[in-house]
Amino acid sequence: MPNWVVHDKWAKKAGIDKFIAYYVNQNIDYGTSWAFSNNDDSRNYNHSESVAIQQLRFFHQKDLEHEKDTQNSYIKACYLHHLLDYFRETRVNIKDIDLVFENFLIEKIGPEIVNNKGIKISFLSDIQQIFDLLKKNKDDLLSDLRGEYLTKLDKKNRI
């Protein structure tokens, strides 16, 4: 299954609006630098920070701008995107899903940011919701990561 289909499928399972998921995926895959340079609030971004932290700041601001959405959909979509990519990139045994989650937060993207007022904002509850969803659907996740062809081949060889 192509990467964008996997991201879309899991965003839907997480209850993230498909347009928000698409927007986040496009920005992460093709770069968000345009968003920082065209944003009136770009002066608040520390361009020496990692791209992941800049993305979290940007998507957190998008969540704040969408008052109707109290679910932090942009942040959840951001973490989901990076986590699904991490599953494909990591050398950790992906069947040990708890270890993958632990390493993800250390190696890929942390659970919090500090806003321009110096206030620490934690996304741990949002991350935990994504972790719980993937853990609950572990077999489906591993199947998606392996791809439809390899999963069918594995099942056929077990019979």
Query: How do residues 10-51 score in pLDDT, each as one tens digit?
Result: 999 999 999 999 999 988 888 765 555 554 444 455 566 788
- Residue 89, classed as helix, strand or coil, is helix
| pLDDT for position 149 | 45
Express each pLDDT in 56-75 by its tens digit. Answer: 999 999 999 987 767 899 99
Q: What is the model's pTM?
A: 0.82
User: Long-range contacts of range 16-23, CB-CB < 8 Å, 24 or more positions apart?
Assistant: 16/71, 16/73, 16/76, 16/77, 16/80, 17/69, 17/73, 20/69, 20/73, 20/74, 20/77, 21/77, 21/80, 23/74, 23/77
Mean pLDDT computed over 73-85: 94
Give helix then strand counts, H and E, for the chain.
9, 2
Whole-angstrom distance, CA of residue 19 vs CA of residue 4: 13
Average pLDDT over the chain reads: 82
Total domains present in the chain: 1
Task: Write out the residue range of the structural domain in which residue 138 sits.
Answer: 3-158
pLDDT of 94 above 80: yes
Whole-angstrom distance, CA of residue 61 vs CA of residue 41: 10
Helical segments of 14-50, H only = 18-30, 33-38
